[in-house]
Every structure is written in C-alpha cells, then in structure tokens.
Amino acid sequence: MSRTAFVSLLESRAWLLADGATGTNYFQMGLTSGDAPELWNFDHVDRVRSLHRRFVEAGADIILTNSFGGNRYRLKLHDSQDRVHEINMAAAGNARAEADAARRPVAVAGSMGPTGEIFEPVGTLTHADGVAAFAEQAQALKAGGVDVLWIETLSSREELAAAVEGAKTAGLPIVTTMSFDTNGRTMMGITPAAFASLADTLAVKPAAIGANCGTGAAELVATILGITEATSGTVVVAKGNCGIPQYLDGHIHYDGTPELMADYACIVRDAGARIIGGCCGTSPEHLAAMRLALETRSPGPRPSVDLIEQRLGAVSALAKGTDVSAAAGARRERRRARD
C-alpha cells in the first residue's frame, strides 16, 4: 500500500473501521502488569502479528502499530530509551506485514501515545524536547512503512502542539485524538468543542481528529457530538472503550458486549464520525460485530443524548449542556466576592 493510500481510502469510503484494543488484548495473551507491550515486537512477534491479523479478519480497514508507548520518555521506564528507532521500525514492520497480506486495502497507522510527562508551564518538559521526542518516533514509524501517523490519548494543548509539530517532520498524514474522561473534558480541562478549535491552530492540519478511550462508549459518542457540532468538513475519529472496566478475579474486564459495540458503531456514525473503532476492551469479536452493523444498518438521524443513554448508558453533565466545572468556578468567585 502506498504512503498516500490512507487518504485515498478515506476519500473513497463513507466510513472506515479502525481496529480495537492492543494492551487489553495482550493481557489476554500473556502480557503482565509492568511489562512494555512495545518489546513484544521482538520478544513475541507471533502474538503481535496474530492480533493484527485477527483485527484485519474481523474487518478493520486501519490497524494501529504496537508503538503507543514508543517514545523516549515512556521507554525510559523500561531502560529502552535508546531503542526508539528499532522498536518503532519493528512495530511498523509487524503491522505492515499483516496489512500487505490482506486481500483488500488495509492502512497501517503509526500509534504515538503521550510522553507521560507534564509540559511547561505546569511541568518541566519543554516544547522543544517534546517536539524532538515525537519527531524521533514519527520518523522511525515512517521508515518502518506506516501510511499515517496516529497521535492518540492526549490531554493537554501543549503536548498536542508538540506532537503534531514533531510528527510533521515525517511528511505523512496525521490523525490526532484526545481522551475525554473528566466531566466531558480531558484530564487537563479541554472540552470537545475547544479541541475542535484547537486543531485549527496546529503546525499542520490533521487529516482527522477525534476521541479515544475515556469512560465508555456512551460518553465517547457524546464527545463526538460535541466535536462535530463545533466543526464542519472535518473527518472525525471515534475509538471508544468497550463498556466500563470492572476488576474481576485479579483482572480488568470491560462489560461491553458485541451487541453494545455494534450499536455504538452505528450511533457514533450517525453522530458524524467517519473513522470508527474500539479502544480498551475491544476484541476482534467486538470489531466483527461493529463491521457487520455498519454494513447492514442504514444511517439514521443525528442521535440525541437521550437516545445515547437509552442505548449505551449514562453520559456526563457536560454532554447534557450543564458545565459542572464552570458552575463550580462561578460559585467560588461569588463566594470570594462576598468575603
């Protein structure tokens, strides 16, 4: 597949199906807490390629490389900060091999997660150092053969700006998603509407923006409503968790069924998403149900928050039009004015 094929595939289809979870599926395959999934690109190539293959067989049009924590700061936790290039090359190569073996076009997206550091002015990581780390990873993923760079699960505007500026150096299309999980906001307080506006200020216009992870499929759909209400003509990505996590028998399990994820896929399509996939807890079996639903169910009207809650579960107050954080701030200001 050519390096520009991601854009061509996007232009030729009304929707594309991205893959499901990496980490939670690896835990089912033997990964243990504290291990670096990225090292499986060498230590367990068969398992890495097997998961990619199963997602392709389930209907994925886009598979993400096993490189979410493949930047120098995350790899430092495993004393592998000097192996950024080889790890990301291997991750891209494993996904590329399975995509190229498919009987239909499948794009490879180079997964780039957060550094785990706090950027200035709140933290100590400088913009320049962040840009350098993301550029290093992006260039290695490009060398390994990815079609698009997929920056995901970010929460701050500072890291988003650095990630896109660094990824830009590779000259590939860029997709970027943030995770909204605190009263309809990212951990650093960004709302879906603010993210849509922020995307227009980045070093290069992303090929797509959206949301991933968060607190469940219902909240993810509500987030997509917020993004699509604030922008037009933008390709939007939805990659929601498979229900809500529960701790059972020493392991984290997600309670979303294939039927729920099939409903989620169609509802989020109706909310305006064109690239639809799953995040934590989403197995190939869930993805197959999503593909079947998208292919066989006709598009419907834009969903209401009430419909989302009826079909998928509860959403935050912000999604219902009540900004709890802003209201709390206003109450504090009123109290200070009285004191």
Q: What is the pLDDT of residues 208-247, one digit of tens each?
A: 999 999 889 999 999 999 999 999 999 999 999 998 777 6
The CATH number assigned to the domain holding 87 equals: 3.20.20.330
pLDDT > 50? residue 191: yes
**Residue 236, CB-side half-sphere exposure with 13 Å CA sphere:** 27
- Among 1-10, 96-105, 178-187, top mean pLDDT goes to 96-105
* Separation of alpha carbons 10 and 235, rounded Å: 9
Q: Examine the pLDDT at 77 and tell me if it is beyond 70.
A: yes
E strand map for 68-216: 107-112, 148-154, 174-178, 208-213
Amino acid letter at 149?
A: L
| Phi, psi (degrees; rounded to nearest 5) at 317 | -60, -35
What's residue 330's pLDDT?
39
Predicted confidence at residue 328, as pLDDT, reads 46
Statement: residue 88 has pLDDT above 80: yes
- If one counts the domains in the chain, the total is 1
pTM across the whole model: 0.92
- Residue 250 has a pLDDT of 65
Give the model confidence (pLDDT) of 115-163 as tens digits: 999 999 999 999 999 999 999 999 999 999 999 999 999 999 999 999 9
Can you give the residue range of the structural domain that contains 319? Answer: 5-338
Q: What is the pLDDT of residues 8-64, one digit of tens each?
A: 999 999 999 999 999 999 999 999 989 999 999 999 999 999 999 999 999 999 999
Percent of the chain exceeding pLDDT 90 equals 83
For CA atoms 221, 74, 88, 155, give the dihedral sign: positive
Assign residue 77 a region: left if phi > 0, alpha if psi is -120 to 50, beta otherwise?
alpha
Q: Which residues pair with 236 in a beta bridge?
A: 209
Report the percent of the chain where pLDDT is more than 70: 92
